[in-house]
Structure 1
């Protein structure tokens, strides 16, 4: 059972690495793979950036179209309301003018038939002045709307 230690030591020497330089072909392959990997990442980032810019422009155009459509609808509704208000004020003015005319006739009749003892004509003049004032206000409002 005496075995020499040397043969074991000689087997260990071939297993030790020598300072052999790395193969230049392998180094080039790693460099090529690193560059390809970098280019792929850069291309992906650039593609994502371009795609998001495209989506932003598309969404902005859609929002602008929707806003324009909503503004058009609001403007049409506003025009309809203005027309209805104008018709309403015109009708009110016509009614008011009819009332003023009848009040003028009544006032003229009262003035002709009044004697010095009654003071009814003053009340009718006051009412007529108030009605004329309201008529003038309505005319001003109509002018503002136009």
Structure 2
């Protein structure tokens, strides 16, 4: 045996060292690829979420404006109806006041008439008594 020759098992071979470092680089490459894919998926999901929120906000705004215009239309119709009802109530109040005034005036007139008639009857009765006395 020659002293300069050593057994192949005593030193790691270049191929084994190269294979070990290439495996490390291969695994590192895949870890970087997986991390990049994970970040991409996360970023895309956030983008989709933001896009969906914008669409929902736009739809909500459209529905809200439609409800507001519908509410304003109904409110204007109701205010017109209330105005008409107030006019009717005012005319009924005027009619009631007129009727009350006429009723009280008629009652007063009829009471006055009744009073006058009773006074005339009293005077007629007094005259009748005087006539009877004169006979």
Q: Report the TM-score, using the length of structure 1 for normalisation.
A: 0.63
Mind listing any 5+ residue stretches in structure 2 that lack a counterpart?
1-7, 112-135
Q: Which runs of 5+ in 1 are unaligned?
A: 1-16, 119-146
Larger Rg: 2
Between the aligned partners of 1:60 and 1:30, the Cα distance in structure 2 is: 45
Output the CA distance in 1 between the equivalents of 2:10 and 2:46.
Answer: 54
Residue aligning to 2:23? 30
Of 40, 46, 56 in structure 1, the residue corresponding to residue 33 of structure 2 is 40
Instruction: Work out the CA distance in 2 between the residues paired with 1:110 and 1:48.
Output: 89
1:83 corresponding residue in structure 2: 76
CA drift of 1:117 comes to 8.3
Instruction: Please list the CA deviations of residues 110-135 of structure 1 after superposition, one character each: whole Å capped at 9, or x if unmatched.
Output: 111113987xxxxxxxxxxxxxxxxx
1:72 aligns with 2:65: yes
Task: Pick one of 82, 90, 96 that aligns with 2:89.
Answer: 96
In the alignment, the residues of structure 2 paired with residue 113 and residue 42 of structure 1 have an alpha-carbon distance, to the nearest angstrom, of 103
Q: What is the alpha-carbon distance in structure 2 between the residues aligned to residue 85 and residue 54 of structure 1?
A: 46
In 2, Cα distance between the equivalents of 1:44 and 1:51? 10
Residues matched between the structures, number = 102
2:54 counterpart residue number: 61
Once the two structures are superposed, what CA deviation does each residue of 1:56-106 show, in whole Å capped at 9, x if it has no partner?
Answer: 110111111111111111111111111111011111111111111111221
Larger deviation: 109-118 or 73-82? 109-118
